[in-house]
Amino acid sequence: MTATGKWLIIIGGLIVLIGLLWPWLGKIPWGRLPGDIVIERENARFYFPLTTMIIVSVVITILLALFRR
Protein backbone atom coordinates (compact mmCIF):
# COMPACT_ATOMS: atom_id res chain seq x y z
CA MET A 1 0.00 0.00 0.00
CA THR A 2 1.34 3.42 -0.86
CA ALA A 3 1.77 6.27 1.58
CA THR A 4 -1.13 8.11 -0.02
CA GLY A 5 -3.42 5.14 0.58
CA LYS A 6 -2.43 4.98 4.24
CA TRP A 7 -3.11 8.69 4.70
CA LEU A 8 -6.51 8.39 3.05
CA ILE A 9 -7.42 5.54 5.42
CA ILE A 10 -6.26 7.57 8.45
CA ILE A 11 -8.19 10.67 7.35
CA GLY A 12 -11.29 8.57 6.66
CA GLY A 13 -11.02 6.98 10.11
CA LEU A 14 -10.74 10.41 11.72
CA ILE A 15 -13.83 11.62 9.87
CA VAL A 16 -15.77 8.54 11.06
CA LEU A 17 -14.52 9.10 14.64
CA ILE A 18 -15.58 12.75 14.59
CA GLY A 19 -18.96 11.73 13.21
CA LEU A 20 -19.48 9.24 16.03
CA LEU A 21 -18.41 11.76 18.68
CA TRP A 22 -20.41 14.66 17.18
CA PRO A 23 -23.25 14.61 19.77
CA TRP A 24 -20.74 15.04 22.59
CA LEU A 25 -18.50 17.46 20.71
CA GLY A 26 -21.44 19.87 20.43
CA LYS A 27 -21.52 20.20 24.22
CA ILE A 28 -17.93 21.50 24.37
CA PRO A 29 -17.97 25.31 24.49
CA TRP A 30 -16.04 25.74 21.21
CA GLY A 31 -15.98 29.35 20.23
CA ARG A 32 -17.09 30.58 23.62
CA LEU A 33 -13.78 30.24 25.42
CA PRO A 34 -12.09 33.08 27.29
CA GLY A 35 -9.81 34.85 24.84
CA ASP A 36 -12.12 34.46 21.84
CA ILE A 37 -12.83 37.89 20.42
CA VAL A 38 -16.44 38.89 19.72
CA ILE A 39 -17.40 42.41 18.66
CA GLU A 40 -21.11 43.06 18.25
CA ARG A 41 -22.62 46.22 16.78
CA GLU A 42 -26.16 47.09 15.74
CA ASN A 43 -25.99 45.50 12.30
CA ALA A 44 -22.69 43.60 12.34
CA ARG A 45 -20.94 40.91 14.29
CA PHE A 46 -17.22 40.09 14.19
CA TYR A 47 -16.02 36.84 15.67
CA PHE A 48 -12.38 35.70 15.95
CA PRO A 49 -11.88 32.45 17.93
CA LEU A 50 -8.27 33.06 19.00
CA THR A 51 -8.16 30.69 21.99
CA THR A 52 -10.08 27.99 20.16
CA MET A 53 -7.63 28.12 17.23
CA ILE A 54 -4.64 27.83 19.57
CA ILE A 55 -6.12 24.78 21.33
CA VAL A 56 -7.01 23.08 18.04
CA SER A 57 -3.49 23.78 16.72
CA VAL A 58 -1.86 22.23 19.79
CA VAL A 59 -4.07 19.13 19.60
CA ILE A 60 -3.36 18.64 15.88
CA THR A 61 0.38 19.10 16.47
CA ILE A 62 0.37 16.45 19.21
CA LEU A 63 -1.63 14.02 17.05
CA LEU A 64 0.70 14.47 14.08
CA ALA A 65 3.76 13.98 16.31
CA LEU A 66 2.26 10.72 17.59
CA PHE A 67 1.47 9.47 14.06
CA ARG A 68 5.01 10.17 12.83
CA ARG A 69 6.54 7.80 15.39
Identify whether residues 41 and 56 lie together within a single domain.
Answer: yes
Identify whether residues 8 and 38 lie together within a single domain.
Answer: no
Identify whether residues 10 and 43 lie together within a single domain.
Answer: no
Identify whether residues 38 and 58 lie together within a single domain.
Answer: yes
The pLDDT value recorded for residue 57 is 94
Under a CB-based contact definition with an 8 Å cutoff, are residues 25 and 7 in contact? no
Per-residue pLDDT of the chain (69 residues), as tens digits, is: 788 888 889 899 989 998 888 888 777 766 678 888 889 999 999 988 888 889 889 999 998 888 887
Give the Å distances, CA to CA, from 45 to 15, 29, 31, 51: 30, 19, 14, 18
The pLDDT value recorded for residue 66 is 87
Identify whether residues 19 and 45 lie together within a single domain.
Answer: no
How far apart are the two ends of the chain, measured CA to CA in Å? 18
